[in-house]
Structure 1
Amino acid sequence: MNELHIEGLTKSYGASDPVLRGLELTVPAGALAAVLGPSGCGKTTMLRIVAGFLHADAGTVRLGDRLVTGPRLHLPPECRGIGIVPQEGALFPHLSVGRNVAFGLRGLDRAERRRRTEEMLELVGLAGYDDRMPHELSGGQQQRVSLARALAPRPGLVLLDEPFNALDSALRTGVRADVRAALRAAGATAVLVTHDQQEALSTADLVAVVRDGQVAQCDTPQELYRRPADPWIADFVGDAVLLPATVHHDGRAHTALGPVPLTGATDGLRTGTVLLRPEQLRLTGPDTEGAVTGKVTDVRYYGHDAMVTVAVEGHDAPVDIRVAGPVGVRPGDETGVRVDGEGALHP
């Protein structure tokens, strides 16, 4: 296990604006970090520099105490001790599952290679699949073989480059859980690059949100969701309700949904934007005390919950309300809305 430490990473392509602008990121040993961001933010460029596939313009990359990228230093990929799990598995089609996993186990005798291969296949839940060919496996099984191949040489770091994109949604959740369990069982330090917010929040120990070539915020999934650093991050990592607000002397923010208690210090702000999540809003009767009145404009049902959109007087945009279980309202209905819990105030 090695800590990954990235400092001041910069990269441009030709005369274009920099893709990475002094990116900083630390991943503790044994942790799984998700690097999350929109297309073009620089997350894949960062991954390729860490892997050794690209040269950085400036900055350093360390694995534990070992410098692998730095001023006048660029270790080639094969010398870095990094395992790669690419998109769609990328297994060698002419090699069996066992030979795919053993591919990087150079310097070991035949018995030790076989023992390590069997150990890795058992770790990813594919014991006994040694003699199968890649085309005989499902997409999820191929991804697990790809992980076993990456873990077999005991790398200091495992990089996963959007490895679940090619899987259908029903399969993706189970494979993500299998991969997470295998990484934890191996004690591996890992970085998952993804643009899928749900994937990042549900899989990783840490989530780093990349924006314009820099890490805008790095935190645990719970803290990132509950206390995003700014409204853009709040909206990017989940559904957000953003309300213009004025802070009164009672310490509460007064909004179109009524007064909202605030979490944390306001740093002297008297006006700003309050962040709430849709699950903090409740539908009530129109005449319920403490609720504001609105009109339902849309209902989107997902099975496990539903999103109800309500137009509220005094607020330009409708607000989304997440409702568990059956939905008792329809578009056109009048309803009450009240806030549960605290909001975060941003400038």
Structure 2
Amino acid sequence: MNRVHGNELRVEGLTMAYAPGGAPVLDGLDLTVPAGALAAVLGPSGCGKTTLLRIVAGFLRPSAGTVRVGERLLSGPGTQLAPERRRVGIVPQEGALFPHLSVARNIAFGLTGHDRAARGRRVDEMLELVGLSGYGARMPHELSGGQQQRVALARALAPEPAVVLLDEPFNALDASLRTGVRADVRAALSATGATAVLVTHDQQEALSTADLVAVVRDGRTAQCGTPQDVYRYPADPWVARFVGDAVLVPGTVADGTADTPLGRVPLASPPAGLRAGTVLLRPEQLALGAEPDADGVPGTVLDVRFHGHDAVVSVAVQGLDAPVEVRTPTPVGVRPGAAVGLRVTGSATLHR
């Protein structure tokens, strides 16, 4: 299958207000998605995620800023390409298949300019790509939710778009289906080489699916990076809390480490000139020990929440107003009221 090269998506200074003089939904948002990459745009409700997608698709005209794919200007001063001229495919929530058309005719819908034989070959290619070979004659109501999402993706990819936009496409799926459908969607996008943007409010979905994660806050990109970097080295405490559980404690800096109520913690790239601040750790960086005096800082277990694959243990520590959360795979024998020791593993980040 042919790959599409040179389709970097570049959004610069994007601003959008729905009413003249009103508060902007987007306020100078920047985002660059390398060609062939899948970027997840993550943020709370109302932060501008869907507005960003609608502008890239051409359904809305921004108040300011530019949208480019490769060297093509899609939106900017004096330019607003119509949606059908942008080579942008869209996978909406819940698939939104045409109920009166078969699976094959849904996929072929955007293949204008192809003769019947070429359309048939392309439809067969797309069905094979999304793991639905032989399903062309079925009607949408005969498919499961996960199969409908695969068909919606095939329909979006069939015209060989430069960019594919996915607007929270897994929301309607049962939790048991989501992981498999996400993996299938990622594999199909990778096979075609299309640049893709996934809008979601699900942190785990963003971290596990995307090559890049852009966290949006108040209409701007608060941080953009690999899932590992955004999780491990968040830009600030707000981002830290938004992309996962966080342990935030006060600390003072000395020789590349921070003195905290959890003991002395090594710092990853301590900010220059910052002598005190908030130290960020993740719950899995805290290790529980049965001997309070020998296994680190002493604490008292307040609560244990079992999640199957692991457990979260709340521990009260002297010098901290709130308990710390410890994620551990083996909470055997840990009960509320037990005295434990806490030890920090790995390095932390320091924030103002």
Q: TM-score range by the shorter chain?
A: over 0.9
Out of 32, 45, 52, which is 1:46 matched to?
52
What are the equivalent positions in structure 2 for 1:3-22 lying under 5 Å apart? 3-14=8-19, 15-22=21-28
Task: Give the equivalent residue in structure 2 for 1:24.
Answer: 30
Q: CA deviation at 1:108?
A: 0.7
What are the equivalent positions in structure 2 for 1:164-243 lying under 5 Å apart? 164-243=170-249
Q: Which stretch shifts more, 36-45 or 260-269?
A: 260-269
**Divergent runs of 4+, >6 A:** none
Segments of structure 1 that go 5 or more residues without pairing to the other structure are none
Amino acid at match of 2:116: R
Task: Give the equivalent residue in structure 2 for 1:37.
Answer: 43
What are the equivalent positions in structure 2 for 1:295-334 lying under 5 Å apart? 295-334=300-339
Distance 1:287 1:273 in 2: 25
Amino acid at match of 2:258: A
User: What TM-score comes out, normalization by structure 2 length?
Assistant: 0.97
Task: Give the equivalent residue in structure 1 for 2:143.
Answer: 137
| Secondary structure at 1:268 match in 2 | coil
Q: Percent identity?
A: 72
User: What TM-score comes out, normalization by structure 1 length?
Assistant: 0.98
Task: Give the equivalent residue in structure 1 for 2:88.
Answer: 82
Amino acid at match of 2:147: Q
| Secondary structure at 2:197 match in 1 | strand
Distance 1:142 1:77 in 2: 24
Distance 1:302 1:221 in 2: 23
Distance 1:224 1:309 in 2: 25
Q: CA deviation at 1:296?
A: 1.0
Q: Please list the CA deviations of residues 50-89 of structure 1 after superposition, one character each: whole Å capped at 9, or x if unmatched.
A: 0011110011000111101011211111111100000000
Distance 1:106 1:295 in 2: 67
Aligned residues: 346
| Secondary structure at 2:109 match in 1 | helix
Q: CA deviation at 1:290?
A: 5.4
Distance 2:333 2:81 in 1: 61
Task: Give the equivalent residue in structure 2 for 1:342.
Answer: 347
Q: Which stretch shifts more, 227-236 or 259-268?
A: 259-268
Amino acid at match of 2:263: G
Q: CA deviation at 1:327?
A: 3.2
Task: Give the equivalent residue in structure 1 for 2:258.
Answer: 253
Task: Give the equivalent residue in structure 1 for 2:117.
Answer: 111
Q: CA deviation at 1:285?
A: 2.0
Out of 276, 283, 289, which is 2:288 matched to?
283
Distance 1:116 1:81 in 2: 17
Distance 2:295 2:301 in 1: 18
Amino acid at match of 1:99: R
| Secondary structure at 1:104 match in 2 | coil
Q: CA deviation at 1:266?
A: 3.0
- Does the aligned pair in 1 maintain the 2:95–2:169 contact within 8 Å? yes
- Does the aligned pair in 2 maintain the 1:294–1:335 contact within 8 Å? yes
Distance 2:224 2:108 in 1: 35
Out of 56, 59, 65, which is 2:62 matched to?
56
Q: CA deviation at 1:123?
A: 0.2
| Secondary structure at 2:99 match in 1 | coil
Q: For the aligned residues, what is the CA RMSD?
A: 1.0
